[in-house]
Structure 1
Amino acid sequence: MNAFTQSNADSSSDDTGDGPGGRRSGGLADQFDLRRLANMFRRRARLMGAVAALVFLAVVLVTMTATPMYTATANVMLDTRAEQVVNVEAVLSGLPADSSVVDTEVEILKSRRLAERVVNALQLDKDPEFNPALRSPGLVSSAKNAVTSMIASVTPQEAQDEAIAEQKAQERVVDSVLRGLSVRRSGLTYVINVSFEAESAPKAATIANKFAELYLLEQLEAKFDATQQATNWLNSRLEGLRDQVLAAEAAVQQYRINNNLLSAAGTNLTETEISNYNQSLAEARAQVAEDEARLSTARSQLARGSTGDDLGEALSSPVIQQLRQQRATVSSRVADLQGRYGARHPEMLTANRQLTDIDAQIQAEIQRIISNLEAQVQVSRQRAAAIGGSLSNARGTLAGNNQALVRLNELERTAEASRTLYESYLNRYKETSSQQGIEQSDARVVSQATIPTGQSSPKVPLNLALGLVLALGCGVGAVVLAEMLDAGLATAEDVEQRLDVSYLGAIPLLSSVAEGRVGAPIDYVVEKPLSSFAEAFRNLRASVMYSRLGETVKVVAITSALPGEGKTTTSVCLARSAAQQGSRVILVDCDLRRRSVNRMFGAEPQRGLIEVLAGEATLEEVMTIDSVTGVRLLPLAKSSLTPRDVFGSAAMDRLLEQLRQSYDLVILDTAPVLPVADTRVLAPKADAVVFLAHWRKTPQHAIEAAFRLLSGTGAHLGGVALTQVDMKQQSKYGYGDPGYYYAEYKKYYVS
């Protein structure tokens, strides 16, 4: 570890705390210290007051110059109850009663389309409150006249631009109306509050009511349009379905005709024909059996020797019955004549011949009946055969028809499906048509907006109260921002915690500790040796002497990160203060570019440090003595600027060793670290490096950058001292710092 880093580690190891730089953390009390907070606002009181005053004044001006506005509110309720005039399903159903639907309706009420309808209904584009173009008197009329005079020469592109400009103007009016509209749901209810803010109280009520009215009208129009659209669509669809049904049914009938699938009373004619043929065939066969049985019976009777009198057909024959009556009459006469005249009597013979003739007629009739039975049997057989043939033909036809029925069934199903679809659409068309004219809105106006009696804005008391809070907040924010942007170091705590190095002391700004008119600081430290200003350098010397425990510190290099930190003034004052305490002190000017020591003492030597190192002069020849305190000065000549590395030479080492042997304190006034590399060469040669930082001015990042440059040189950093400290302002910083109690101990010093 290099010496620069080791010194920090040694400094940190002396403390046993956990905080940065070895300081013990005070817990919550350190993190939130009311005194530090109060001090922060004390030192930034002017900034806070100025910002707060400006903000509050701006709020007051805005409030007093604001145009009075009036707000009117109309209440619209989503009605969850629906009147059922007709018991049919509506085309556009009612709104369900849930939160998402209510929120959706709120957005619809805030929609641009509804605002455009309100603008057109109330002609708000002609109202200067909503149309900025009308706020300048005569602007619209002059524009109209200009347009009228130029319309003949307007090109199509210019006409299009004109239309776009008018549309933009209309959109600006709508935007202005929407800015005045406020729509919100009342809690978790179905009530929506429609509020409008305008410069006129009656106008606010009128616009709020118009929003509610057009919202309900838009709901009705939506339902009417939906019903009308559904009716038109169903009507056009019905025409197509009607044609489909007619075509399908015509195809069925034509197929029936083409395939002889005619029917009557819902039954196929071929099937009816077959049924009739089956019945006729059965009857014909029964008739054949009957005729054959009668014929067979008659033949059997005749074969057994019957004369035919006992035949059934003979018994039922009227001819035979008549012949039998005649025979009975003749037989009675024959019997009478037989008994009266005998067998040979002419009348008897005549009667016998009549009887024989009647018997012959009866036999002839019986033969005719038998022949008739045979004919009937033949006819019955032929009839049965004919019916059987027709039945076979019908069955063949039916087999062909059954194959054709497959396609017929498909056509019939298609026709039935088309008919069912057509009937359902027809029923829905009739239901939808019946709903036209009876649509109901899903909401209703609970209360109309009334003309407000008082202005809604600006609310002067509230605005002033909020303005005061805002002003205080902005003031506090300005203070916090200023503190955040303040990258400088103000207290010992800042040095030790933020830089993690030792704090050597504070060099006050002379005007903050001296009363009356004072001269140069290097003279004041001599003139007022008991003053707080002189005491600050004695404290600094003591801190430097004990910055390396157990080692003697004689050679001290004083440097800073940037120019203007007070290095030369501090070096001279520290040298004079040490000389007044009886020490042998020599001040070596090591700033080749500025040579500030010469300017402070008003001298311009011809030879100096560079000549001594070059061997061109001796130390005694170039060294001067401060006539007031006896401090030896090793200045720089006017021509001392050289590109050679004079400070890293062996001659410089020999010179410092010589000075160390001859003097109690050797002060090296060096150049700033960041712009010049000389200090990085000189710093390791010194026993301690005193790093100066301008109070509240030198950025912390600059100091840290300088530390990084010195960290690899092996220099021993004794610590950081704050310069040009305003002791009056320092009392407003964190307590615990010595400067915080300056007001209590400043009387201890002699001015």
Structure 2
Amino acid sequence: MLQSISPAFGAAQTGAVLGDDKDNIGSNLTPPILLQYWQVALRWKWVIAGIILAAIVFGLVATLLATPQYTASTRIEISREQKNVTNVEGLESQNAGRDLEFYQTQYSLLQARSLAERVVRQLRLSTDDNFFKAHDVNPSESSLFTSKSGLPLNAGERQKREKIAVDLLLKNASISPIRGSALIDIGYTSGSPQLSAQISNTWTEQFIVQSMDRRFASTADARRFLEGRLADLRARLETSERELVSYAESKGIVALGKSKSLDGRTELERTLVSSDLEALNSALAEATADRVTAESKSGQRNGGANSASLNNIAIGQLRQRRAEVASEYAKLMVQFEPGYPAAQALAQQLKALDASIAREETRVSSSRNSEYAEAVLRERDLRAQVEALKERMNRQQRDSIQYNIFQREADTNRELYDGLLQRYKEIGVTGVGANNISIVDTAKVPEKPSSPNLPLNMALALLIGVGLAAVATFALDQIDEGLRDPGQVNRVLQVPLLGSVPDIEEGDALLLLQDAKSALSESYLSIRSNLAFSTDHGVPRALMVTSTRPAEGKSTTSLALATVLGRTGKNVLLLDADMRSPSMHVFTSQSNQMGLSNFLAGENNWQQLVQVTDIKGLSLLPAGPTPPSAGELLSSDRMLLLIQQLTEHFDHIVVDSPPILGLADAPLLARAVEGCVFVAEAEGVAVRGIKASLGRLHDVHAHVFGVVLTKLRHRQAGYGYGYGYGYGYGESDK
């Protein structure tokens, strides 16, 4: 017995670690990835062996039956830059060959159908029967190649033969660029070594010829295009210039040239009217200034000491003479009276001088008024002329809009014409360039076939067989969605594994549970040990056993756990909560007339509902009569009250719950217990169904202690996760 408890105790320790740290135990239970692959390969070993063997046999037969093929190759060099004899730039930019697409373009041109057609026409392959025989095509056996009447082929039949020949060339030709260089290998494969070498060399020659033809053809097309464009532009230029001159003549626009603004951004058109307006405007400005000056002079008083009188010589002399006479008169007045004759003479002289000065100042003032009148008249005339020119200028500016349109059209046509004419002259000398394609090595007649290669074909067949076997194994393994081994529980479900129960192929499970030495009892003893480490107070006081669907071993597990707990000296109550399909009263040979449904319906005395069984330490509370709605009864708080009262009288309570999927009973029961034990059948319910059931439990915040994997077969236990059922016991012990 000690030997049997040892593995159970080790599993219990593992269960304790699972309860404390799921991640660590998950990593400990998960086997290495290579071991997992090896286990899958062992499960499907005969399928893998059959697929690989079939692939190798097929590769061998195909190799032996294949016709020998010969490959001839020609090596050429394609330079990026084309050497030009002239300095005139060609149609394409000089940098066009430096683009990354250059060589990819060349590879595509080497595989063009037009090139294959040139080779067919050059070698006349459409009428060569040896060419078709070299590719295992017999013209005499096909109605596509011979006339039914024996006459020469008509045009339609020749086109069909040529199409098939082109298709054969494209299928068997190969273009192999040499990485990091400008070299390209052009190969051809056929059943005739001479034909392969001939086609490979002809393919290269025709590619060079086609490249040159394409270059000259593009030049000729460009020349014809430019000739047509030049004729159109010449006619448009003549028409636009004629319209420009006619419009300028009809509107009186005389263009003198163009000038730019001070900032250099705007270009102005100078005409005769604008020049005249500019000159008259300058003269008007001068006349206005003269008029203002004359007006300021004429506004001064005649008797005042204005600038004109001060600057007048005659007035100055008269004033000087008067000053002298006034001085002499003043001297005489000191000695004599005003009636003195000499004083009277001087007084008369002063009056005469004053009259002369007045007359001179009057004359000067009259002269200023005349100048002012002339200035006003001149300004008025100039202003009238400026206004007239401004009106003409405004009309001309409105007319210049259309004039500028004609002018721009003429300038544009002239520029286009000159540019195309220059390009037309240059194209005449383009295309005279050295070819940028050169042959490095010509194709030689191959001495040995290039295919079939038996070692290579066998390796490929083996590789294909392994690949197909891997795909088939992966597909078969994915189709098998159930839990196949205990190691998948923690790895796939992320839930601890409490233990696994062997599949009972012969015998009654209830009788085996009564035998403490049986493998079934040992397995549940190990599960009980793991449960003891799932909480801090040992085995949970109240736990629920549930599963995804019926017939997965849920009820057997409930009974087994209650039995194992009773053997340890505990007072255990087995509560049958599966009121839809009760079974515990049958397992324990008890009555089901009254039970859980009665208490949930209102019966308060649960003691009279409990029945003592023949199993040590085990009492039973049966499900009772089937209620109309079990979900409604379980949704009340009486289930919580019942569990609380039962825990006061029993050490452990094991609740046999209904399945989860499709029913609401199990999530409702999960509220009343510490946690639940989830039972899953090996290779039973799909993993996604188990995950959905666990998800429903997690949604109601139920604590899942772990999973019990039931009905595990011996080949599944051999993965390294079994407990070695029956170890230490034999028939003699029984």
Superposition TM-score tier, normalisation by shorter sequence: 0.5 to 0.7
Contact 1:507 1:537 in 2 (8 A): yes
The TM-score with structure 1 as length reference comes to 0.55
Q: How far, CA to CA, are the matches of 1:95 and 1:198 in structure 2?
A: 40
Q: How far, CA to CA, are the matches of 1:541 and 1:477 in structure 2?
A: 42
1:507 lines up with 2:508 in the alignment = no
SS state of the match for residue 452, structure 1? coil
Q: How far, CA to CA, are the matches of 1:94 and 1:638 in structure 2?
A: 96
Contact 2:544 2:657 in 1 (8 A): yes
How far apart are residue 694 of structure 1 and its match?
3.0
Q: How far, CA to CA, are the matches of 1:584 and 1:234 in structure 2?
A: 110
1:321-376: CA deviation from partner (whole Å, max 9, x where unpaired) = xxxxxxxxxxxxxxxxxxxxxxxxxxxxxxxxxxxxxxxxxxxxxxxxxxxxxxxx
Aligned to 2:460: 466
1:449 lines up with 2:443 in the alignment = yes
Aligned to 2:677: 690
1:377-427: CA deviation from partner (whole Å, max 9, x where unpaired) = xxxxxxxxxxxxxxxxxxxxxxxxxxxxxxxxxxxxxxxxx9xx9999999
Contact 2:59 2:458 in 1 (8 A): no
Contact 1:14 1:22 in 2 (8 A): no
Q: How does 1:380-419 map to 2 (within 5 A)?
A: none
1:522 lines up with 2:514 in the alignment = no
Q: Which runs of 5+ in 1 are unaligned?
A: 1-10, 146-150, 152-161, 242-417, 512-517
Structure 1 635/459 Cα, relative in aligned 2: closer, same or farther at 3 Å? farther
Match of 2:654, as an amino acid?
A: I
- Please identify the structure whose Cα radius of gyration is greater: 1
Aligned to 2:47: 50
1:196-237: CA deviation from partner (whole Å, max 9, x where unpaired) = 123444443333233123223324434664677789899999
Aligned to 2:296: none
Q: How does 1:357-396 map to 2 (within 5 A)?
A: none
Structure 1 525/36 Cα, relative in aligned 2: closer, same or farther at 3 Å? farther
Structure 1 16/715 Cα, relative in aligned 2: closer, same or farther at 3 Å? closer
How far apart are residue 622 of structure 1 and its match?
7.2
Structure 1 129/102 Cα, relative in aligned 2: closer, same or farther at 3 Å? farther
1:263-304: CA deviation from partner (whole Å, max 9, x where unpaired) = xxxxxxxxxxxxxxxxxxxxxxxxxxxxxxxxxxxxxxxxxx
Aligned to 2:727: 747
SS state of the match for residue 634, structure 2? coil
Q: How does 1:324-723 map to 2 (within 5 A)?
A: 442-472=436-466, 475=469, 495=489, 501-511=495-505, 518-526=506-514, 528-550=515-537, 553-581=540-568, 583-597=570-584, 608-611=595-598, 613-614=600-601, 632-636=619-623, 639-642=626-629, 645-649=632-636, 652=639, 655-656=642-643, 659-660=646-647, 663-695=650-682, 698=685, 701-711=688-698, 713=700, 715-723=702-710
Q: Which runs of 5+ in 2 are unaligned?
A: 1-12, 234-416
Structure 1 177/618 Cα, relative in aligned 2: closer, same or farther at 3 Å? farther
Q: How far, CA to CA, are the matches of 1:624 and 1:14 in structure 2?
A: 33
Structure 1 142/663 Cα, relative in aligned 2: closer, same or farther at 3 Å? farther
Aligned to 1:402: none
Aligned to 1:74: 74
Contact 2:83 2:435 in 1 (8 A): no
SS state of the match for residue 213, structure 2? helix
SS state of the match for residue 538, structure 1? helix
Higher mean C-alpha displacement, 547-556 vs 225-234: 225-234
Aligned to 1:315: none
Contact 2:16 2:530 in 1 (8 A): no
Match of 2:502, as an amino acid?
A: P
Over the matched positions of the two proteins, sequence identity in percent amounts to: 25
Contact 1:589 1:634 in 2 (8 A): yes
How far apart are residue 182 of structure 1 and its match?
1.0
Match of 1:57, as an amino acid?
A: A
Higher mean C-alpha displacement, 628-637 vs 70-79: 628-637
Q: How far, CA to CA, are the matches of 1:489 and 1:447 in structure 2?
A: 65
1:108 lines up with 2:109 in the alignment = yes
Q: How far, CA to CA, are the matches of 1:639 and 1:485 in structure 2?
A: 39
Q: How far, CA to CA, are the matches of 2:591 and 2:160 in structure 1?
A: 79
How far apart are residue 102 of structure 1 and its match?
5.7
Aligned to 1:178: 170
Contact 2:219 2:427 in 1 (8 A): no
Aligned to 2:24: 23
Contact 1:693 1:720 in 2 (8 A): yes
Q: How far, CA to CA, are the matches of 1:652 and 1:594 in structure 2?
A: 18
Aligned to 1:295: none
Q: How far, CA to CA, are the matches of 1:662 and 1:201 in structure 2?
A: 99
Q: How far, CA to CA, are the matches of 1:605 and 1:144 in structure 2?
A: 95
SS state of the match for residue 192, structure 1? strand
Match of 1:669, as an amino acid?
A: D
Match of 2:144, as an amino acid?
A: V
Contact 2:481 2:683 in 1 (8 A): yes
Q: How far, CA to CA, are the matches of 2:710 and 2:636 in structure 1?
A: 32
Contact 2:543 2:673 in 1 (8 A): yes
Structure 1 88/652 Cα, relative in aligned 2: closer, same or farther at 3 Å? closer
The TM-score with structure 2 as length reference comes to 0.56
Match of 2:198, as an amino acid?
A: T
Contact 1:53 1:471 in 2 (8 A): no
How far apart are residue 239 of structure 1 and its match?
12
Structure 1 88/714 Cα, relative in aligned 2: closer, same or farther at 3 Å? closer
Contact 1:501 1:719 in 2 (8 A): yes
Q: How far, CA to CA, are the matches of 1:545 and 1:88 in structure 2?
A: 96
How far apart are residue 628 of structure 1 and its match?
7.1
Match of 2:511, as an amino acid?
A: D
Aligned to 2:118: 117
Structure 1 240/689 Cα, relative in aligned 2: closer, same or farther at 3 Å? closer
How far apart are residue 41 of structure 1 and its match?
0.8
Q: How does 1:113-152 map to 2 (within 5 A)?
A: 113-122=114-123, 137-140=141-144
Contact 1:238 1:426 in 2 (8 A): no
SS state of the match for residue 196, structure 1? strand
Contact 1:91 1:230 in 2 (8 A): no
Structure 1 456/88 Cα, relative in aligned 2: closer, same or farther at 3 Å? same
Aligned to 1:353: none
How far apart are residue 524 of structure 1 and its match?
1.9
Q: How far, CA to CA, are the matches of 2:229 and 2:573 in structure 1?
A: 115
Structure 1 626/464 Cα, relative in aligned 2: closer, same or farther at 3 Å? farther
Structure 1 705/73 Cα, relative in aligned 2: closer, same or farther at 3 Å? same
Contact 2:659 2:666 in 1 (8 A): yes
2:711 pairs with 724, 731, 748, which one?
A: 724
SS state of the match for residue 545, structure 2? strand
Aligned to 2:62: 65
Structure 1 603/560 Cα, relative in aligned 2: closer, same or farther at 3 Å? same
RMSD (CA atoms): 5.7
Q: How far, CA to CA, are the matches of 1:579 and 1:555 in structure 2?
A: 14
